[in-house]
Structure 1
């Protein structure tokens, strides 16, 4: 009998320890990044033709901010912000490519350098996977879009992108196969992390619905019946194809019984409005200062730790992603990170303003972000002020829009609302005072 009681006590202690260990296990982090998708191009956002059932399901399971934004509507600076929690003028990645002139050419109007020269910024900036590994023992995987050289430079343990410019390295190389050719590298990584009892961070950034718009014929046929424009049908079909891959990933987490202890975050790197006559973006979308370029839904799903809600009024930004993840796993954000924890209702309620910067496609200087600056913008409640940077945009006027009433930004109210312009201009200058 004595042996029985001792054995039972040991067994109960083991169970309690097991429960405690499970409770102390940091949540896995899955970051889903859409690439070139309009902020309204989801069925849960009200699109009348595009069907996104898997992202609809995620949106309704998440704390979803329909008024989410990225500070810059260009992919490389946007992704660098998402992984670092810093604005482009802070982390230094202020464009996609270095200028197409030789390094040191005296005729060049600004400092130039090779693609490898510009990788110095990723080495200097904080990186979410690196922080998670150092502080909490996470393992990480990069897949899809990635501009900053080899995956390891981003702090990832594993990855698909080699980043060698002599072998086609630019914005993802081998990583760009993910999604379009299946998710096997993700499945293998997650199963390995699970077997090793390691929390994991996954960067899923397929080049979807980004061009080339090459959807499966079954989806193209479906959307060809919904529009007379073949390029638009292709784009719509790409949105659903991307949605299907998101469904495969979320279903896999369910099958592996990982969903309950996994934070899933969704965001798009920048917006997109497809031209009717070709598979290219319209002027007021990608790379622009307008809602069509900067706005995106942002979703956060963490079962048991947040209440699903469709937040249609408060503002969220991609600079909030790193602080949100760090707060969730018990790590202090760095002082230079200006974002907030989107799961902290008080912090969200206290915010009334977000900021952004629109930069040139080609980087104009190695260490002077203002050389590449085109516009700064600020949103306060319904008001959005867009201020051109005079040295680079000397002939463009200041614009003020009420984006709640005028989301397509057709009615410039700057002349009618000088006090609003003055107030928001002061906020912009306090945020980033440019020469």
Structure 2
């Protein structure tokens, strides 16, 4: 035997092992969740009034989802739904300001178990960080993004990481600073269902500024990932928790309230756009698959990893969302199928209000209700003031992107409505959703008076839906 070859062979073995490990390193994740931003307000979705060059930069290297839907357009229920991979009524925290019960699991806990360095930086609004699976956390104001860079720079270099970067932008009250440009009232776009007046336009300028400020911090994150040379092994995911904080958007189940911006870049992502339908409930299963981990039985969402390469792939044909108590008592359910949105309102005799459409809360809502009292609203602007509200609504999202024309009773839609009713009812039954008998009451009256109130029965509470894992309908083969 030639013993001189042994060190050489050993060197090559170690060299090869090093590179095998290097090329099979677990991916990193930067999960950026924005606050109160509608997809249609970003330039990557067609709005050229707000400058977001870094989101465009991210889109150029990643995949833009044109058909991504939330499970709730309300902050904490939406965030909790994402982190658990469960529908709001299945989490035990379907209403705003209800913390996630200890009995519920998160996908972050699964990452942590396998050695991921997990960080929550910015807005939480779910539960104590360690309960959620985070080993490190920090707050920040006013943007909530001020400490993102420090976490990236100070991370352990020998661990893969998952960063939940949660911006406070663009959440009221507006706080303008020098981290982004400002806008003039003449530069904003007023949606047709809001009153186009000076208060509304001024209100929108603060919203625009905070979107641009979010973009600024996204740029800092991208720069740091590139400087550290880890961009190619890092998935960057950007999503919002709910729609813009204006009347008929945040908390509502219309397209502008429930469609979320979704961008993903990373090692297994083919650049482009996709119209494939995905739900925010699917993010948990997708991240776990990208990390090479199994999906726990508690997760109701499904992975859409296939879509990241095959943009026309179909992983789901229906997406569901719910509207529960958010200052005002509501119980609405939505299903998205094809180009259609169907909404069922189980309490049509209640005022169609939320914190952002409250007549006494914020400038845009105050102006709208003031003009309502003077009889000066258009038909579109009057929709949220109607009482009673429609018990059922149907909208074609391409022909009617603002969801202003309810075509539920059009004869040509009869078969479609029948199918969507069945699918929504099936989801209700399979996931244990229900209508509370003693629901949480309104927190205020229409004239602005605050009421004494306490939390009532929540959806899913009577059915123990927090222990139900059934995902409900995903594909529609049984209906074809």
TM class by smaller structure = 0.7 to 0.9
* TM-score (norm. length: structure 2): 0.73
Q: Whole-Å Cα distance in 1 between the matches of residues 227 and 142 of structure 2?
A: 23
Q: Whole-Å Cα distance in 2 between the matches of residues 15 and 392 of structure 1?
A: 72
Matched ranges for 1:213-292 at <5 A: 213-217=174-178, 219-221=180-182, 223=184, 226-227=187-188, 229-272=201-244, 281-292=245-256
Aligned to 1:123: 102
1:421 matched to 2:391: no
8 Å Cα contact 2:180-2:216 kept in structure 1: no
Task: Point out the more displaced range, 149-158 or 222-231.
Answer: 222-231
Higher relative contact order (CA 8 A, sep 6+): 1
8 Å Cα contact 2:304-2:315 kept in structure 1: no
Please list the CA deviations of residues 318-357 of structure 1 after superposition, one character each: whole Å capped at 9, or x if unmatched.
Answer: 1010010111122221234232222214894142111111
1:399 matched to 2:376: no
1:142 matched to 2:103: no
8 Å Cα contact 1:373-1:392 kept in structure 2: no
Aligned to 2:260: 296
Shift of 1:373: 5.4
Shift of 1:284: 1.0
Aligned to 1:55: 55
8 Å Cα contact 2:79-2:126 kept in structure 1: no
Aligned to 2:299: 337
Q: Whole-Å Cα distance in 2 between the matches of residues 266 and 78 of structure 1?
A: 14
SS at match of 2:60: helix
8 Å Cα contact 1:143-1:178 kept in structure 2: no
8 Å Cα contact 2:39-2:243 kept in structure 1: yes
Aligned to 2:278: 316
Shift of 1:413: 0.8
Aligned to 1:307: 270
Aligned to 1:159: 137
Aligned to 2:66: 66
Q: Whole-Å Cα distance in 2 between the matches of residues 32 and 210 of structure 1?
A: 15
Q: Whole-Å Cα distance in 1 between the matches of residues 401 and 135 of structure 2?
A: 41
Task: Point out the more displaced range, 334-343 or 80-89.
Answer: 334-343
Aligned to 2:472: none
**Pair 402,208 (structure 1): closer, same or farther in 2 beyond 3 Å:** same
**Structure 1: unaligned runs, 5 residues or longer:** 98-117, 161-173, 273-280, 364-371
**Structure 2: unaligned runs, 5 residues or longer:** 189-197, 352-387, 436-480
**Pair 221,432 (structure 1): closer, same or farther in 2 beyond 3 Å:** closer
Shift of 1:237: 1.6
Q: Whole-Å Cα distance in 1 between the matches of residues 343 and 63 of structure 2?
A: 28
**Pair 122,198 (structure 1): closer, same or farther in 2 beyond 3 Å:** farther
Aligned to 1:86: 86
**Pair 338,180 (structure 1): closer, same or farther in 2 beyond 3 Å:** closer
Shift of 1:375: 0.5
SS at match of 2:151: helix
8 Å Cα contact 1:145-1:176 kept in structure 2: no
Q: Whole-Å Cα distance in 2 between the matches of residues 268 and 378 of structure 1?
A: 19
**Pair 409,265 (structure 1): closer, same or farther in 2 beyond 3 Å:** same
Q: Whole-Å Cα distance in 2 between the matches of residues 3 and 192 of structure 1?
A: 43
8 Å Cα contact 1:265-1:298 kept in structure 2: yes
**Pair 386,127 (structure 1): closer, same or farther in 2 beyond 3 Å:** same
Q: Whole-Å Cα distance in 2 between the matches of residues 357 and 337 of structure 1?
A: 18
Matched ranges for 1:104-115 at <5 A: none
SS at match of 1:209: coil
Shift of 1:218: 7.6
Q: Whole-Å Cα distance in 2 between the matches of residues 77 and 287 of structure 1?
A: 10
Aligned to 1:75: 75
Total equivalences in the alignment: 378
Q: Whole-Å Cα distance in 1 between the matches of residues 148 and 155 of structure 2?
A: 15
Q: Whole-Å Cα distance in 1 between the matches of residues 29 and 144 of structure 2?
A: 18
Aligned to 2:168: 207
Aligned to 1:17: 17
SS at match of 2:342: strand
Shift of 1:62: 1.5
Shift of 1:391: 8.3
* TM-score (norm. length: structure 1): 0.81
1:354 matched to 2:306: no
Shift of 1:79: 0.5
1:5 matched to 2:21: no
